[in-house]
Structure 1
């Protein structure tokens, strides 16, 4: 029977599925049909495959050709099926060695001249192939470096359909040795492009030392980074709120290999460039106030799931500048991810769960005009305008923010660098607020927290559940938070956040348990106005 079979991989969001591609060449009038729930991009592969095959000496069957993508109930989208469709047709016409198709996957898009082009999501596709114990993967030569990031699978790069026929032991009569691969004039060939590792733009030049003054804000951001706490920056325009937020990744611990791969998979699945070798710097995603719900939380582009900024900031920092100017529905989409570390996109045919474990930083002015805290300018906002402005960020969102930081205007700018006189057992007599010293403090605090949580499924104080806090926090500190609860100054969530912050402060100063001073400091960080 003239049936050819090979395998490929479909990607939906970050979840991959193994797809079997079958081609059946049967008697009948010339016709090429495709079944198995393909979208318009997959359906258009018929013309790409037919045209690409003309760059070889392969004679297209002048009969009925049917291609089936299994499982048929799984929506197929994207152009990564092109190469596997062509291979299945070659196998159905007995033009290649079918034994070479076993235990292998074929990935790539075909251009009209037969060139094999890169596809979206190569890294997560290769990871899934290793989980399925696939031994060989035929990938576009331009993505060889990305595919080789995943160990345990043999990667075979191919740049043209004629080259693919050669490695699949096709008869010489089918191979056109005179083909040429055409690349855009503005770029090098894919193999030359990846001859040297591609480096991600470094953020190492962003240093807290660049921010003049704001010692209190730097100290509070150091606490936030040490415990993984969410932050709100409040201050007039031009005082450095955005600069402070942009430099938080410079003091966060570097990602481990697993986390770096996870972040790279997210970028790869969205068609974004990744660093080779993998970057271990936590990501930073900044969102403008005119962002839509799909831009922040994610959505669908046709049948393709597109991750939002919350997922792109996974394992890193999500920064929302001018937070009160965001639409109410956009801000409310933060509520569940802040609690669960993931976001669920519900679609008509499936639910897709995307990771969204990030450190949130919000920034806002003290009033609509921004002059409320200005000593030289007069605020012209009416009380009702000020109340409406402050209420644009709902109380449930504010309740989930651990640390509220007031960033005042600088009255004197004569000192390029500012220090305070707090003693730190890690840094010596004084705590220096440049990124290097702040990162050292954060790393030491994180190590102490990891030792405390070594038998727990979490590693930072911000993730510690309420049951653990109640069992391990000194009783007198719990009594103080109970007093705040009874006076209705905080909610139960707020009480837990105050206890978590106090544990982080204790870690920074090398204490095994938080003290009364740590709790008082934590309370003022959570409720800066009391």
Structure 2
């Protein structure tokens, strides 16, 4: 007898439908799994048979063949346990599953028959809807995540018996429903605020400029100056996520297993990722035998914070160069290539020297000039060129720490940034006939840079002097123009003035050789 059910598997950041066929025939009682299964899928036969027995069912005692189609794509993970078990129970009971084509099933089985949560449920639900399935049956812990997809019913199950009785019509389940728009609106809150940051007014200004144009930024300051504190509050001043952005980010978080907690079923706020400096290349950009997203993709639509930047391995930092330019990362393997989104804002922090107190007016630096230079040289010039803004973060003064006056709130800063972003969006939409993929100044191409960053005479003279005397690179020149354009947008100025260029030049601390 043959039984057929449907499931789905994740490939990259999307999913594809998998048709699961189980055939029972006379033979020696062997269970064979075909269709390019990985080790976890091959092992499922042992979990599944034990779960079936402990749930009070029987399975085919003859030769059982389990086919996962399409057969030319590798299947990974334990999410096929539940659909395989359902088909095996049907074959063992010689029962025809008349309504199986209406459903998509995913779930890992415990030996007791309990259904455990799995990764990647959101892209699976999106694929089930695209394939025309009426409903998706998932572990109860994944139900809220799947319910964020409109246009498909979601049922959460606790165990194998519950799922089989629902499939055969012996049990009625209530579909899980979530109002994604309402959930999205209610959860766009942050636990931190820029009002907590005392002093550091010029640093806040630099961050406002960086976020307004989506520019990457580097903080340089001694330990305890507030670099990490400021970085953690940057997502609070980025314009709120759109529903489309939230779905993109949630898919990646789901695939990485970051949404297995039922209380975190959807990403409604800007991601903030801060990996340790011992992170490997693959963990940072993604990869593996079957590529999975890395930290830069988890930070998609949000902030990637690299604290103690020189402590990261140089090779690890160099792999960031292509994603910073293209807002995506392509991982190539013998079996094919996968592209993951990586449109993040890079915020990095470092000490001015190894001991942290170079040029500090109150503490003596123990580093020699050569030590300082070697410390700085851990970061390559090409990577520094891709960081638009370098800003010094001095130690906070006592009068600022003890001040009872709160700083400016994130909400008021965000209002100015939203206005500047709207100016940019309108500008690039007009030039792209409404189809331009460029949304902010940091992503301007050479053609757009030439069109929108024309300097008046005084600003041109200031730029020429800076290029001549400070030996800026050609890429640094482009970065200064982009930052100057953002500063002009914040000032609601159509033209880039000398004062805008002057401020942008001040944000190239490392290029101005202030460490010499």
The alignment's TM-score, normalised by the length of structure 1, stands at 0.86
2:107 corresponds to: 108
CA drift of 1:416 comes to: 4.8
Give the whole-Å Cα distance in 1 for the aligned partners of 2:355 and 2:509.
24
Classify the secondary structure of the residue corresponding to 2:20: strand
Give the whole-Å Cα distance in 1 for the aligned partners of 2:389 and 2:157.
52
Residue 35 (1) aligns with residue 34 (2): yes
Q: Any gaps of 5 or more consecutive residues in structure 1?
A: 176-190, 192-196, 420-430
Give the whole-Å Cα distance in 2 for the aligned partners of 1:367 and 1:486.
27
Of 480, 505, 509 in structure 2, the residue corresponding to residue 523 of structure 1 is: 505
Classify the secondary structure of the residue corresponding to 1:4: strand
1:21 corresponds to: 20
Classify the secondary structure of the residue corresponding to 1:233: strand
Give the whole-Å Cα distance in 2 for the aligned partners of 1:486 and 1:418.
45
Residue 445 (1) aligns with residue 431 (2): no
Counting matched residue pairs gives 497
Residue 149 (1) aligns with residue 156 (2): no
More displaced stretch, 468-477 vs 263-272 = 468-477
Classify the secondary structure of the residue corresponding to 1:453: helix
Give the whole-Å Cα distance in 1 for the aligned partners of 2:224 and 2:57.
66
Classify the secondary structure of the residue corresponding to 1:287: coil
CA drift of 1:31 comes to: 1.1
Of 351, 355, 362 in structure 1, the residue corresponding to residue 348 of structure 2 is: 362
Q: Deviations over 1:245-269 (max 9, x none)?
A: 1111111111000111111111111
CA contact (8 A) 1:5 1:91 kept: no
CA contact (8 A) 1:5 1:92 kept: no
CA drift of 1:279 comes to: 4.2
Give the whole-Å Cα distance in 1 for the aligned partners of 2:342 and 2:189.
22
1:277–1:447 Cα change, 3 Å: farther
Classify the secondary structure of the residue corresponding to 1:343: strand
CA drift of 1:495 comes to: 2.1
Q: Deviations over 1:84-137 (max 9, x none)?
A: 112332444564443311243111111212222211111111112222232221
1:326–1:127 Cα change, 3 Å: same
Classify the secondary structure of the residue corresponding to 1:157: strand
Give the whole-Å Cα distance in 1 for the aligned partners of 2:2 and 2:244.
41
2:395 corresponds to: 409
Q: Deviations over 1:281-329 (max 9, x none)?
A: 21111122222222322232xx554422211111111111110111111
2:257 corresponds to: 271
Q: Deviations over 1:316-363 (max 9, x none)?
A: 111111101111111111101100111122333232221111111111
1:326 corresponds to: 312
CA RMSD, 1 decimal: 3.0
1:288 corresponds to: 276
More displaced stretch, 264-273 vs 93-102 = 93-102
Residue 392 (1) aligns with residue 388 (2): no
CA contact (8 A) 2:101 2:133 kept: no
The alignment's TM-score, normalised by the length of structure 2, stands at 0.89
Give the whole-Å Cα distance in 1 for the aligned partners of 2:397 and 2:19.
68
Residue 345 (1) aligns with residue 344 (2): no
2:484 corresponds to: 502
1:255 corresponds to: 241
Classify the secondary structure of the residue corresponding to 2:274: strand
1:469 corresponds to: 449
More displaced stretch, 282-291 vs 94-103 = 94-103
Q: Deviations over 1:118-170 (max 9, x none)?
A: 11111111112222232221222232211110001122332222222222227
Give the whole-Å Cα distance in 1 for the aligned partners of 2:58 and 2:21.
19
CA contact (8 A) 1:100 1:168 kept: yes
Give the whole-Å Cα distance in 1 for the aligned partners of 2:139 and 2:460.
59
